[in-house]
Amino acid sequence: MASIQGPTWGRRALLKSGLAVTVLSAPPIISARGETAVRIGMVNPLTGILSALAASEVEGARYAVETINKKNGILGRQIELLVEDSANDVGTGVQKTRKLIERDKVDVIFGDVNSGIAYAMSQVTSELKVFQIVPGGHTDPITGTDCKWNVFRICNTTSMDAAAVTGDLVKRFGKRFFFITPDYAYGHTLQDGFIKNLKALGGEYQAELLPINTSEFSATLIKAKAYKPNVLLNNMGGLAQINCMKQFTQFGMQKEMHLGGALFELETVKAVPADAQAGSWDMEWWWNQPTVPEVAAFVADFRKTTGKTPSARHWFGYVAVHSVRLGAEKAKSLEGPKLSLAMEDMDLPPDVALQPGRVYYRAGDHQLMSNIFVGDVHPPTSNPDDVFTVATVVPGEKAAGPVSETGCKMVHPA
């Protein structure tokens, strides 16, 4: 577990420190005025195939903690971030969530990158009436059929990501798709979303569901090659997506079909060879937005502090901490029910939203309505992180559709 105590560490040292500092107990920080810190617990897969994405979310949250603590924290109290490793395992994620709530007495829980773990965590936080933000777990039911009064989400639903990019892929490349999809909650709802949109456009498909930690894709790629699709959609995540991309290019398949899908994230793009840095995808936030001055200021400070260009995952962690701050200031409280009501229809200010237009948490399902950046991945141009060109910015509301279609029936505690 990492105990992040903003006021006691130097900023650069804090953000460049290791992800996990093992401690046996985590007594609350007591300020000079006798106030305990605001405790945020974060559960993410710091080990396993999604670890790079999880690490960025934690780093974004740490950055936000340190900057907010320099400005008097939340409700005049410093913030302490306690990080636990779910190890990409549902049982472990649930166990760590209970530990943070029952032993470490956190005020708020964040997590998990793995949608199945995020969903399981929500069962615990709802039972114990603790406020939860899901920064980066995408499966639809979290803010859909299984929505809960205490759970808010920052990243898109899988339906939103599929809706944003499917039409562009069909228009540019054709209606015949082959899906390579992870066999867990995220993959199931993402593929369902793509199929729904593809069928509406008169398309056809074949699909292969594979374990989330698959490393060998030869047999699946042979099937895809035989199907002769216009587009191969690589829906895998993290290290599995990297391995699939590498084998796709080793087979020379980039000469026969177009690559595409929902997410090919900055961390993943940078980990594949140049010939696999290709295709048409969504980015759920992008660092190069020359028409939004707040973005340039954020990127410059993040680079100065961490030595890195922020990714969407960094932004998820950053927004999560700021959302707690904004909600608590509005509610004048960190109590779960009050915080939840305060955040419904709450707008993110420009220096937190970091994109054009209105960005807010929709009251009906607690889903953040943010933009989706649709475009093309390519090898770096002006700098190593310039690997994506935005073609279209799709408003979140357009991609999400009405609350009535999500299946969410929001019920607040009496």
Q: Kindly list the structural domains of the chain, giving each domain's residue range(s) and its CATH number in brackets, ordered by start.
A: 2-156+291-370 (3.40.50.2300), 159-283+372-400 (3.40.50.2300)
- Strand 280-283 relative to strand 360-361, pairing: unpaired
Confidence at residue 378, expressed as pLDDT on a 0 to 100 scale: 97
Confidence at residue 15, expressed as pLDDT on a 0 to 100 scale: 39
Distance from CA of residue 167 to its chain's centroid? Answer: 23
DSSP 347: B
d(CA 173, CA 195): 16
Q: Cα dist. 289→132, 212, 286, 355 in Å?
A: 30, 33, 7, 7
Structure token digits, residue 136: 């980066």
Taking the chain (414 residues) in runs of 10, the rounded mean pLDDT of each run is 36 39 42 70 96 97 98 97 97 98 97 96 96 97 97 97 96 97 94 96 97 96 97 95 95 94 96 94 97 97 97 98 98 96 98 98 98 97 93 96 95 88
Confidence at residue 28, expressed as pLDDT on a 0 to 100 scale: 52
pTM (whole model) above 0.95: no
Closest CA to 59 of 47, 44, 38: 44
Structure token digits, residue 184: 């867990």
